[in-house]
Structure 1
Amino acid sequence: MAEKIGSPEKGHNAWGQAFAAVALFAALGGALWASDVTSGNGSSGTPAASCSDEKEPGKRTGRVTGKQLCEALLRPDLAELLGTPTETAKTAFGNDGSVGLSGGKDIPMPSAEVEFDTYTVTVSATYDDLPVAGSHELLGSATERTVLGRPAVLYSDRTIKINFRLDGGDAESGTGVPLRSVVVAQDEKDSGGSYDVTLWRADGMVPDDAVLLRVAEKVLPTVPGWAAGS
């Protein structure tokens, strides 16, 4: 999916760019995971993760912040929802970033990520004013469905793996592990904007859709602003 960002046939289609940007965010999450493992920052000896250490809280914009997404995602039963109840979250963080499209437009995309030994989970909110219905045509092997009473799309991609050289040489990138994502409309009328929940496994196996949907159905209703779309 990430390669569609630079494909000429999608370059002037704002809808295509926006959903490709969501897919790219999920893939880049895997790049961050890969760099952490390479550098040893993901060791099992680290203390339990917390969202309280975010150094750059988001500005008051009326949108959900990365820290709020992190707090919604890092719930006490998250490991149980993932089917790995004995694991403890190793890292957790939120980010108030955005994605730039051609033409100079920026799409706000706050996000959060929580990493366990088996799974890494991300959740993001995309404020692009575009509907979710029909986006399956832009996301390759994707299927439409309804999640929590709202239009949604399930799709597959792969993370982007980045290896950093300790000698200061150029980093090397390549294809990482498979991921599964679900994009859910921000309101029942699908009037624009979406939430994305993504899973990938450290062992490279394809995540189970039942696990993905179980996490999404528990986490998304706790995101600030979710109820306003009902």
Structure 2
Amino acid sequence: MSDRTDGAAKVTNVWGQAISAVALVTVFVIGFWALMRTQNADGTGGDAKPAACTGGAAEKGDEAAGRVHGAQLCKALNRTDLAALVGTPGEVAKSASGSGGSIGTAPHPSARVELDTYTVTLAATYNRLTVATTTELLGAEVTPRKVLGRTGALYSDRTIGIGFRLDGSDATSTPGVPARVLVVPLHAKDSGGFFELTLWRADGGVPDDATLLKVADRVLPTVPGWAS
């Protein structure tokens, strides 16, 4: 029993770092938000135009290793029908971005698209941790779920709100909103690494799993290398 508990704790720590360190951090910077709204508005002061993806260019070694980069993830996520998929047709992307980086030695490209009602993130983690092993060790904390023929897992998390002060003093953090997360193996054989799709609501409501799965069904097959 002790060995199993210790193992679960270790995997929780590893997976928690890989999943929560980047994707679930929301940054509230009023000046930046206002700037993005201005840039996304059309010249006549009418409705905002959908944001185009920025950032996330390929990093050294990505192509040779067959890894996706943040710009590719953003392109897959920033679909014209994303708002319809999450049940809010008519909304447009307020911001859309990709990024690179790593968690420890594991490459961790990611993308984020923000709508008025929902924010969606998509990340890929390239390590040796399999979804099956994690699901087994964490037991009731996650729910296995078939996604496009692969066995993924659903679980709950919470965002973190971070505020930066214009006077340069220390940033502040506040509890965020509930999020639902879906992890799916990078490869059909679940040989290590995973995609992570996260959904949360601006109003603090708990996202519906059916909505998250609908997004996964449409987005994941468009990610380069998905079929491998």
**What is the SS of the residue equivalent to 2:84?**
helix
Q: Secondary structure at the match of 2:71?
A: helix
Query: Is residue 86 of structure 1 aligned with residue 90 of structure 2?
Result: yes
CA-CA distance at 1:224 after TM superposition: 0.3
Match of 1:24 in 2: 20
2:33 aligned to which of 26, 30, 41: 41
Across the aligned residues of Structure 1 and Structure 2, the Cα RMSD in angstroms comes to: 2.3
Residue 142 of structure 1: how far off its partner (Å): 1.5
Aligned to 2:187: 187
Q: Which residue of 1 aligns with 2:46?
A: none
Unaligned segments of structure 2, at least 5 residues: 1-5, 41-49
Letter in 1 for 2:111: A
Q: Distance in 1 between matches of 2:88 and 2:220?
A: 20
**Higher gyration radius (CA):** 2
How many angstroms does 1:93 deviate by? 0.7
Percent identity (aligned): 50
Structural mapping, 1:44-123, within 5 Å: 44-47=37-40, 48-51=50-53, 53-54=54-55, 56-61=57-62, 62-100=66-104, 106-123=105-122
Cα deviation, 1:23-42, whole Å, max 9, x if unaligned, reads: 313xx4443x3324x44516
Supply the distance in 2 between the matched residues of 1:107 and 1:190 (Cα, whole angstroms).
16
Q: CA deviation at 1:132?
A: 0.4
* Alignment-derived partner of residue 44 in structure 2: none
TM-score by length of 1: 0.82
Whole-Å separation in 2 of the counterparts to 1:85 and 1:46: 22
**Contact map agreement 2:8 2:138 (CA 8 A) in 1:** no
Q: Return the alpha-carbon distance in structure 2 between the equivalents of residues 176 and 86 of structure 1.
A: 26
Could you tell me which runs of 5 or more consecutive residues in structure 1 were left unpaired when the two chains were aligned: 1-8, 101-105
| Distance apart, 1:55 and its partner CA | 7.1
Q: What is the distance in 1 between the residues matched to 2:216 and 2:139? A: 19
Structure 1 171/206 Cα, relative in aligned 2: closer, same or farther at 3 Å? same
Label 1:114 to 1:140 Cα distance change in 2 as closer, same or farther (>3 A). farther
Contact 1:110 1:126 in 2 (8 A): yes
Q: Decide whether the 8 Å contact of 1:91 with 1:114 is kept in 2.
A: yes
Once the two structures are superposed, what CA deviation does each residue of 1:178-211 show, in whole Å capped at 9, x if it has no partner? 1000000112221111100000111111111111
Maintained 8 Å contact 2:23/2:198? no
